[in-house]
Amino acid sequence: MNWNKNSGYGQSLVTFARNVCPTFGNILVVMNSANSDEANYHHMQEVYTPDVDGLVRFYTDLESAYGAAESNNNDIILLDANSSHALTSMLTVSKSRVHFVGMDGGGRLKAQGAKISMGVTTDTDDIAVILNTGTRNSFRNIKIYSSNTLDEHLSCFIDNAEGTYIENCNIAAISKADADACDLWCCSDSFTYREVTFGADNVINTLAFYNIKFDGKTGGGSLHAKCGTFIDCIFDMQCASAAAATSCFMKVTDKDAIQHNILVKDCVFQNFINAAGGVILTDAFLGASTTTNGDINLVNPTIFGATGVGGGSGYGFNIAAGGVAPDANGGLATPLTDS
């Protein structure tokens, strides 16, 4: 079989990458060195050889591939979908127009084959697995998760950027025993999150936890969450009794945390209730009073495992369902019954 990038099967691999993420940038491939016994490991080395300018295009760790990516060039970083790509320190994506793509076929809401992970670290600067501060970066078909118990590590992903696009990813902070932890800290401008699963329903949170935390970030950026869109996303969690009143799917930390419209369209919010300790949430959403600079507009939400929706006049949350009269408690689930 021909593994030359200019013809045959090798050329089709390059074409496929362009179809997944159509750009003019360089293609950089990341394969875990633990998978050197696999045929793909060697085939990718044959196809993704250094280019005419000497740019290396095959890497065995994500940090090196990102280091080689050129800002504003719309480079694509392809992640092998076998072993996890483990980070030992936070990856700060400060470059712009860099695209991270997991090569597992795509379309998954959970259990993506391409994984970016972080275990326990000791550096207090490791506040997340990924801190995104660039412009128009994208993440596709990747599971991004953290099991870091470091006290300062309160988020799995921090989006402090502009024009971020995330699709078919699962972003989850697990093993957190610190209050005010979250799966994603959102302080991004004009973001789009499409078919993303935030959180996990098989790990119980014992202290205040949020799938999404909206808050302005100091240090590395001053953006607030604004002008963003969630489309067909899933929000998963499991909450212990002690945290039922302080945990929620979306948390607005203060009245200045959001600006302009944030659209949340056709999303499912589900908190797992079970005999092992998972209890019903008091409220699905927690906001801040006198929030007047921004609105979170919930369109056709479906909410499981919460007694109330939260919010209230002046808290920045609005709710509507197409074709039906407005209902302040709309979206809350009820048990199915024949009676």
**DSSP per-residue string spanning 301-328:** -EEESEEEEE--TTSSEEEE-TTS---T
Residues 257-285 have a mean pLDDT of 95
68 contact partners, CB below 8 Å, separation of at least 6 = 28, 55, 56, 59
The whole-chain average pLDDT of the chain stands at 90
Q: List Cα–Cα distances, 277 to 30, 80, 202, 244, in angstroms.
A: 40, 37, 11, 11
Q: Which of 161-175, 181-195, 218-232 has the lowest mean pLDDT?
A: 218-232
Q: Are residues 133 and 169 in the same domain?
A: yes
Q: Give tens-digit pLDDT for 132-173.
A: 999 999 999 999 999 999 999 999 999 999 999 999 999 999
Task: Identify the pLDDT of residue 13.
Answer: 67
- Token pair belonging to 216: 């302005």
Distance CA 242, CA 120 (A): 25
Q: Are residues 246 and 282 in the same domain?
A: yes
The total number of residues written for the chain in this structure: 339
Q: Please give the single-letter amino acid code of residue 67.
A: G
Q: Are residues 71 and 216 in the same domain?
A: no
Task: Identify the pLDDT of residue 50.
Answer: 76
Domain count, the chain: 2
Q: Give tens-digit pLDDT for 59-112.
A: 999 999 999 999 999 999 999 998 899 999 999 999 999 999 999 888 899 999
Report the Cα–Cα distance between both ends of the chain, in Å, rounded.
64
Q: Are residues 266 and 171 in the same domain?
A: yes
Q: Give tens-digit pLDDT for 279-333.
A: 999 999 999 999 989 999 999 999 999 999 997 888 999 999 887 787 888 888 8
3-state secondary structure of 144: strand
Task: Indicate whether 48 pLDDT > 90.
Answer: no
Task: Identify the pLDDT of residue 9.
Answer: 58
Q: What angle do CA 264, 291, 226 make, to 5 degrees?
A: 45
pTM for the model: 0.93
Q: Are residues 246 and 299 in the same domain?
A: yes
Q: Are residues 209 and 246 in the same domain?
A: yes
| Of 100, 165, 93, 164, residue with least CA distance to 133 | 93
The residue segments making up the domain with residue 206 are: 85-94+109-320
284 contact partners, CB below 8 Å, separation of at least 6 = 248, 249, 250, 269, 303, 306, 308, 309, 310, 331, 332
Residue 233 lies in a domain: yes
Q: Are residues 67 and 159 in the same domain?
A: no
Q: Are residues 24 and 156 in the same domain?
A: no
Domain containing residue 189: CATH number: 2.160.20
78 contact partners, CB below 8 Å, separation of at least 6 = 17, 27, 28, 29, 30, 101, 103
Rg of the chain, C-alpha, whole Å: 21
Task: Identify the pLDDT of residue 172.
Answer: 97
3-state secondary structure of 33: helix
Q: Are residues 165 and 227 in the same domain?
A: yes
